[in-house]
Amino acid sequence: MDQLTMLENKSIFIIREAYAKYKDIALLWSVGKDSTTLLWLCQKAFFGKIPFPVIHIDTGYKFPQMYEFRDHYAKEYGLNLIVGRNKEAIDGGMGPGKGSKLDCCNELKTNALKQTIAKYGFKALLLGIRRDEHGIRAKERVFSPRDENFRWNYEDQPAELWDQYKSESEGEDHVRVHPILHMTELDIWKYVKRENLPISELYFSKEGKRFRSIGCEPCCGPVPSTASNVDEIIDEIANATTSERAGRAQDKEDAYTMQKLRSLGYM
């Protein structure tokens, strides 16, 4: 069995395990490459018909291309799409220009997600985070419980071995399930290539720059790159110096990532 098939099998196993245990489950789809890969893995796990909703947390500040992409594939895959917005904060004018970036993230992402979870009563969320994103991610479990404040107690995490994941427990608001935790950035791109997955055009180089991760337009900076298709991105990542790849591919990217980390409540 080749490496990509192995990774895929592992992800599909986790997705099916999550659905077997939690019927009140949803997939968090940011429209980025990782969660789009996860979306595809869910398609595969359920033979083309995902039996639960797909949530997009919309801050109102995403790139226009992302909205187009979202709506196009939501339709093509026949998704039950829930768009979650913190309407009150948006109406109140919250945005990157107002307050700190962290406040903005808190209101438009974390609180929007809290509201969505509360409204639909979700007990489990599938998220497309990866272990190599940042050192702290290395601590994550595949099934990671959160309390009502979304706190992640990384100092005292449940034991997890032999693909036996924790069951529902007392005091748990919901559980975060991470089916692609074991994939690296390079694995994702190789998988995108093999499966010929649709990926937002923002990832491909235009005028010498491309986005390595995408989110809200005002807070995303492109990196210098000439990689204008998936093959070139694979080359670019594979040939980055090994130390950059040594377990922490993305954390250097920009200060925004650190903020994202602090608001671990969201991711």
Partner 1 sequence: MEERELHLVIVGHVDHGKSTLIGRLFYDTGCLSPSKIEEIKESSAAEGNEDGKIEFAHVMDCLKEERDQGITIDIAHTFFNTDRRRYVIIDAPGHREFLKNMISGTSQAEAALMLVDAERGVEEQTLRHCHVLGLLGIRQVAVLLNKMDLTGYSEETFKTVKAKIVEVLSGLGITPSFVIPLSAMEGDNVATRSENMKWYDGPTVLEALDSFESAKVLERGMRFPVQDVYDIDGQSVAVGRVEAGILRVGEEVFILPDNTKAHIKEIKKYLEEDIKEAPAGDAIGITLDGQPLTRGQIVVDRVDSKITDTVKANIFWMVDKDYTRGVPLTFKCATQDVKCTIDKIFQRFDPASIEVVERDASVIKPSEVAEVEIKLDKKVVVDSFDKIQETGRFVLEHDGFTVAGGIIL
Rounded (10°) angle between helices 3-21 and 185-195 = 90
Residue 158 is a binding residue for partner 1 (CB under 8 A): yes
**Total interface residues for partner 1 by CB under 8 A:** 51
Residue 255 is a binding residue for partner 1 (CB under 8 A): no
The nearest distance, CB 185 to partner 1, in angstroms, is 12
Residue 247 is a binding residue for partner 1 (CB under 8 A): yes
Three-class DSSP labels, 9-55? HHHHHHHHHHHHHCCCEEEECCCCHHHHHHHHHHHHHCCCCCCCCEE
Q: Which is nearer to partner 1, 85 or 182 (CB)?
A: 182
What is the footprint of partner 1 within residues 162-191 (CB under 8 A)? Answer: 162, 164, 166-170, 172
Cβ-contact 151, 203 below 8 angstroms: no
What is the footprint of partner 1 within residues 31-50 (CB under 8 A)? Answer: 43-49
Residue 257 is a binding residue for partner 1 (CB under 8 A): no
Q: Which is nearer to partner 1, 165 or 203 (CB)?
A: 165
Residue 76 is a binding residue for partner 1 (CB under 8 A): no
Residue 193 is a binding residue for partner 1 (CB under 8 A): no
| Backbone torsions φ then ψ of 57, nearest 5 degrees | -85, 115
Residue 220 is encoded by which pair of tokens?
């995303």
Q: Which is nearer to partner 1, 108 or 125 (CB)?
A: 125
- Please report where in the chains the tokens 């670019």 appear, as a residue: 236
Select from 76, 93, 121, 159 the one that contacts partner 1 (CB under 8 A): 159
Calpha distance 34→197 (Å, rounded): 11
Cβ atoms < 10 Å from Cβ of 156: 5
Of the candidate spans 10-18, 23-31, 95-103, 108-116, the one that interacts with partner 1 by CB under 8 A turns out to be: 10-18
Rounded (10°) angle between helices 230-238 and 185-195 = 150
Handedness of CA 76, 82, 38, 31 (dihedral sign): positive
Partners of 57 in the β-ladder: 84
Q: Which is nearer to partner 1, 112 or 181 (CB)?
A: 181
Cβ-contact 205, 212 below 8 angstroms: no
3-state secondary structure of 208: coil
Of the candidate spans 1-9, 53-61, 100-108, 224-232, the one that interacts with partner 1 by CB under 8 A turns out to be: 1-9
The nearest distance, CB 191 to partner 1, in angstroms, is 13
Q: Which residues bind partner 1 (CB under 8 A)?
A: 1-3, 5-6, 8-10, 12-13, 16-17, 19-20, 43-49, 131-132, 135-136, 138-139, 141, 154, 157-162, 164, 166-170, 172, 241-248, 251
